[in-house]
Amino acid sequence: MSATHDHQYLGHGGERHPGDRRSLFIALALLAGVMGIEISFGIVASSLALLADAGHMLTDVVALGLAIAAVGIAARPPSVRWTYGLGRVEVLSAQLNGVSLLLIGVWISYSAVRRLISPPEVHGGIVLVVAVIGALVNIAAAAVLRGRTSASINVRGAFLHIATDLAGFVGTALAGALILLTGWNRFDPIASLGVASLCFLSAFSLLRESLRIVLEGSPGHIDTDAVGQLLASDPEVAEVHDLHVWTVTSGFPALSAHILVQQGSDCHAARARLAEALDERFGIDHTTLQVDHVSGGGSLKLGAAAPRARPIGPR
């Protein structure tokens, strides 16, 4: 029998995303500056759309601060107590960002409905100018983070906050222009409802993905049945069972399985061959494969078309 690890987790230490913190700091500085401008001119212009964007931007600033803290905690190396390290703190940060998006969406919706019923006087020119400035700043902040969202759900959560704000600024600028042209102040709360809808959509996407990781579901881009097919199609493999594929943290899939090979097969060579195949085809480079010989001499090798692989869910 051979029970082996493909490699130790120490190879997946805290330097997985070394540029995340710098990018988040730049985005934080940009948003904090424009938030102060929005609050000031939102009060002067009596614009809920501007104040809603400012409130959302406040959650962005908090979210970015939380994301920066999460990156720092996740960078700590694995220990005897935390053998995988603290990388999943980034996932918890993403969940908090999702919840904050939901809450700000509820607040904006409530305020917008009130203003639809009884709209105040809105200074469309101020709204338009400030919204354009805010949109330009958000474009810059989004550009800073855009290239890093595929590797870290934590950064993706911060990016969704900023992207929602950007869309909100565009809607607010449009509302300001329409108020200037028509004098109809209800364009302001209507734009706010659009911002709230984007908050809800972004929150749903972020919470769904982060919950999948926390509950150790299989990665969305990896077909567990296809993984079982690949393992069972090896000429020396007789059976694959106890197959688990899960995500430790964003960008870090892991796998474990019990594999039976034919009598006379080299367990160590089979383990190395299968681990390499998993890495090449699915990008799973952290594997725990327990390889044993089948008992007795009467094992049946199942073909690749009908592999005997029994994935039983996340670890």
Looking at residue 227, its pLDDT comes to: 93
Looking at residue 153, its pLDDT comes to: 74
What is the per-residue pLDDT across 75-102, written as a single tens digit (0 to 9) for each? 777 778 877 777 778 788 888 878 888 8
Looking at residue 69, its pLDDT comes to: 82
Which helix (H) or strand (E) is 44 found in, with range?
Answer: helix 20-45
**Sheet containing 287-293: order of strands:** 2-5, 287-293, 252-261, 237-249, 309-311
**3-state secondary structure (DSSP) of residue 224:** helix
Looking at residue 53, its pLDDT comes to: 67
At 5, the pLDDT band (50, 70, 90 cuts) reads very low
For residue 113, pLDDT beyond 60: yes
For residue 10, pLDDT beyond 60: no
State the average pLDDT over residues 117-125. 79
Looking at residue 296, its pLDDT comes to: 61
Question: Hey, what are 77's tokens?
Answer: 């190396």
Average pLDDT, rounded, for the chain? 78
Residue type, 103: L
Q: Which residue has the higher pLDDT, 129 or 244?
A: 244
Q: In whole angstroms, what is the distance from residue 245 CA to residue 254 CA?
A: 6
For residue 242, pLDDT beyond 80: yes
Q: How many other CB atoms sit within 10 Å of the CB of residue 49? A: 36
For residue 19, pLDDT beyond 60: yes
At 303, the pLDDT band (50, 70, 90 cuts) reads very low
Q: In whole angstroms, what is the distance from residue 17 CA to residue 48 CA?
A: 38
Q: What percent of the chain has pLDDT over 70?
A: 84
Q: Are 113 and 151 in contact (CB under 8 A)?
A: no
Question: Hey, what are 223's tokens?
Answer: 């077909």
Q: How far is CA 33 from CA 95, 249, 270, in A?
A: 26, 32, 58
What is the per-residue pLDDT across 123-149, written as a single tens digit (0 to 9) for each? 778 878 888 888 888 888 888 877 655
User: Given its phi and psi angles, is residue 216 left (phi above 0), alpha (psi -120 to 50 degrees) or beta?
Assistant: left
Torsion of CA 33, 153, 285, 77, to 10 degrees: 60
What is the per-residue pLDDT across 176-206, written as a single tens digit (0 to 9) for each? 888 888 888 888 888 888 888 888 988 888 8
Q: Dump strand ranges (E) for the chain.
A: 2-5, 237-249, 252-261, 287-293, 309-311
User: Given its phi and psi angles, is residue 58 left (phi above 0), alpha (psi -120 to 50 degrees) or beta?
Assistant: alpha
At 7, the pLDDT band (50, 70, 90 cuts) reads very low
Contacts of 223 (CB under 8 A, 6+ apart): none
State the average pLDDT over residues 275-304. 76
Looking at 24-38, 50-64, 219-233, 268-282, which range is the least confident one? 50-64
* CA-closest candidate to residue 176, choices 38, 39, 43, 47: 47
Looking at residue 271, its pLDDT comes to: 92
What is the reported pTM?
0.66
Q: In whole angstroms, what is the distance from residue 58 CA to residue 28 CA?
A: 10
* CA-closest candidate to residue 24, choices 110, 124, 142: 142
DSSP per position, 76-101: SPP-SS-TTTTTTHHHHHHHHHHHHH
State the average pLDDT over residues 251-269. 90
**3-state secondary structure (DSSP) of residue 290:** strand
* CA-closest candidate to residue 189, choices 203, 176, 202: 176
Q: Which domains does the chain have, with CATH numbers?
A: 13-214 (1.20.1510.10), 219-311 (3.30.300.30)
Q: In whole angstroms, what is the distance from residue 301 CA to residue 292 CA?
A: 14
Looking at residue 8, its pLDDT comes to: 39
At 46, the pLDDT band (50, 70, 90 cuts) reads confident
State the average pLDDT over residues 267-294. 91
For residue 300, pLDDT beyond 50: no
